[in-house]
Chains A and B, each alone.
Chain A
Amino acid sequence: MGRTLGQQIALAFDRLLEAFLSVVPAALVLLVSLLVGVLAGLLLRTLLRFAIGLRRRYRGEEGSSSRQLLRAAGLKADPERVVGTVSFWTAVVVALAVGVNALEPGALRNVLSEAVGFLPRLLGATLLAVVGLGAGALVRRSVLLGAVNAGLPWARAGARAAYVLVAASFVAAALDHLGVGRSILVAAFSIAGGALALTFALAFGLGGRDLARAWLEKKLRAEEEDSGIRHV
């Protein structure tokens, strides 16, 4: 009995070792791919940073349009940092994908292929979300400035609402890109959009008809709202 149990345990360990050894080449391939990816990413990042630095030296410290674009979106990061990070991770993902392709066909390769195949979509969705947050920040600042300069009391709330609206649209697009809760998203946006339109229609169209007329009249006769100052 004791001998049989011992044999069984030894057999199990043998199988485990066998399974482990069968994975080692694949793991080595992936490790080498990762290493190559990291090295390629580092090289790419250094080269791009050098090229951007060189361009900046010739075209002026602060005048690059990419920097202005990032600042307009409320991001303080340097363009070379952003480009460097994106290029580094792109190189790593490409190297991993190549590594997975080089594996022997089998369950492990299928699982890893799916995981690596999902990465570009994940990158795309992340990019969409980041662009959305940047665009939201741009819109928020624009609405805030416009509303404050027009003397509208709801400037801050309006700016925040505009930000949420834009950012939510992009995040929804990102989720859709990932294939997450597609039908729920469509329904949620339809309901929210419809509710918003109905709210404005009731509040402004029925409830505040006179107010709307007065406001429009004031806007059309801008000089009445003027501070009286002649600026130039």
Chain B
Amino acid sequence: MTARLPSLSREVSDAIARIGKVDVLVGIPSFNNERTVGHVVRAVVAGLARHFPDARAVLVNSDGGSTDRTREIVERTEVGNLAEILVDAVPSSATAKIITPYVGIPGKGSAFRTIFRIAAELEAKACCVLDSDLRSITPEWIELLLEPIVRHGYEFVAPLYARHRYDGTITNTIVYPLTRALYGRRVRQPIGGDFGFSGELAARFVAFEDWEGPVAQYGIDIFMTTTALAERRKVAQAFLGAKIHDPKDPGSDLGPMMVQVVSTLFSLMERHEKAWRGVSGSEAVPVFGFPYTVGLEPVPVKLDRLLAQYRQAAHDLPPIWEAFLSPLSLAAIREAAHAPAVDLGDEAWVRIVAEAAVGFRRRALPPATLIRSLVPLYLGKVATFVAETEAGSAEEAEARLEELALAYELGKGGLEALWGAAH
């Protein structure tokens, strides 16, 4: 199947013709981010001036039809006095900007798709994408995401943030350990949101055929990381410090978000079956940047609510789970629900995720239904993790997640056997 490229407006085509080729491209997807996008643009322009003064650079804002002043702010924002932010070098030219609405179903992935297309048209050598709601971005992020590609020959750079132990729990309990066990490389934040990648990889992304599915929404991050890992690209991580962004996006409710991320992860397992079958263990991925301790904003967790939701599901949902979970997993779910504090062990959890992936593959239930039915189980695993790590240090919590990741690696053989049997 040949990919249909996203269409570009006349203005964008003219701008591409005017700009010609570029060395670096920075993409910013946006939707009603007037409060934060100015800060992000300033950091980008300063970062380009400080770290890539001689490069031909372009900033692309792919907007989802903002009704506030987002686009106007992107257009007007300049970095100001470079000396004040300790930039000695004078850029050879002002950073070019392309501001365009994207086409396709509304979502972050569709916004990225337009950025990939423009990167391919401009034959950019290195690109990075940044969320537009960032409050903690600094000019150094540009260096950290682009430098490994421009000067060290890497093709994909994933972010590495300092995060609170209860920040990013889908990442910690499903996406990171499963991706690590599948593809054998430890990318700690595979859905971090801010990435660096080569222009060649951007062209590869845009050639993907299914932009009508979850990849067009929150599935884009795991799609990018998985593509890089499955194609055995040269992958690195960049330590960016803390990630502080605007309060929760109202569109990012748990159910739809989990459906988009996990269904992309599972469907990519089908697509890259040859790449992950037979891989055992995992290897570290190099980290650029200087890791340091960051004072993190605490994440208050309402454990009672998590427990109540898990227990109710354990009582009400077995008829749905029976379609894809084994009697052993159902018994473990029941048992965990009856424990004084929910205790969904690693082995049981890894088996549940493996059976869900296989159930997804053999369409035991409609994809969205299957993943929505996993939500309370995931909350049960989070509740278990919270109960186990509440009193300990951040390092102990990270060590606990490492145990979980190792359990995924140990359970890989079981997943492969189930997967093979489902053929």
Interface residues, chain A, CB within 8 Å of chain B? Answer: 61-63, 67-68, 71-72, 141-142, 144-145, 148-149, 151, 153, 155-156, 222-223, 226-232
Contact = CB atoms under 8 A, between A and B. Distances in A.
A94 B298 CA distance: 72
Nearest to B362: A62
B409 to A, nearest CB: 23
20 contacts: A62-B363, A63-B363, A71-B323, A72-B366, A72-B369, A144-B316, A145-B320, A145-B373, A149-B372, A151-B309, A155-B316, A222-B250, A226-B248, A226-B302, A228-B300, A228-B301, A230-B166, A231-B257, A232-B171, A232-B257
Contacts, number: 93
Given A71-B363, A149-B372, A223-B248, 17 more contacts: A68-B366, A71-B365, A148-B309, A148-B312, A148-B316, A148-B376, A149-B309, A151-B312, A227-B301, A227-B305, A227-B306, A228-B301, A228-B302, A230-B166, A231-B168, A231-B258, A232-B191
A211 B219 CA distance: 38
A63 B366 CA distance: 11
Most central of A141, A144, A153 by chain B CB within 10 Å: A141
B213 interface: no
Contacts of B313: 148
B308 A62 contact: no
A231 B170 contact: yes
B366 A61 contact: no
B254 interface: yes
A229 B363 contact: no
A153 B315 CA distance: 11
Contacts of B218: 232
A142 to B, nearest CB: 8
Given A151-B308, A153-B312, A232-B168, A144 B252 contact: no
Interface residues of B, number: 48
Contacts of A230: 164, 166-169, 248, 299
Contacts of A148: 309, 312-313, 316-317, 376
Contacts of B315: 156
Contacts of A232: 168, 170-171, 191, 218, 252, 257, 261
A67 B305 CA distance: 37
B361 A62 contact: yes
B379 interface: yes
A148 B309 CA distance: 7
B152 interface: no
Contacts of B323: 71
Contacts of B361: 62
Contacts of A145: 317, 320, 369, 372-373
A106 to B, nearest CB: 54
B300 to A, nearest CB: 5
B375 interface: yes
Contacts of B248: 223, 226, 230
Contacts of A62: 361-363
Contacts of B376: 148-149
Most central of A68, A72, A141, A227 by chain B CB within 10 Å: A227
Contacts of A71: 323, 363-366
Contacts of A229: 166, 169, 299, 301, 306, 382
B169 A231 contact: yes
Nearest to A144: B316
B291 interface: no
Interface string B157-170: 00000001011111
A67 B170 CA distance: 30
Interface string B320-353: 1001000000000000000000000000000000
Contacts of A151: 305, 308-309, 312
A151 B305 CA distance: 8
A12 to B, nearest CB: 63
Nearest to B192: A232
Most central of A68, A153, A226 by chain B CB within 10 Å: A226
Closest 5 CB pairs of A and B: A230-B167, A231-B170, A228-B301, A62-B363, A228-B300
Given A145-B373, A227-B301, A227-B379, A68 B363 contact: yes
A61 B169 contact: no
B255 interface: yes
Contacts of B379: 227
Contacts of B382: 229
A147 to B, nearest CB: 8
Contacts of A144: 316-317, 320
Nearest to B171: A232
Interface string B285-304: 00000000000000111100
A106 B393 CA distance: 94
B262 to A, nearest CB: 11
B151 interface: no
A122 B122 CA distance: 66
Nearest to A225: B305
B423 interface: yes
A52 to B, nearest CB: 16
A109 to B, nearest CB: 49
A153 B305 CA distance: 12
B255 A149 contact: yes
Contacts of A223: 247-248
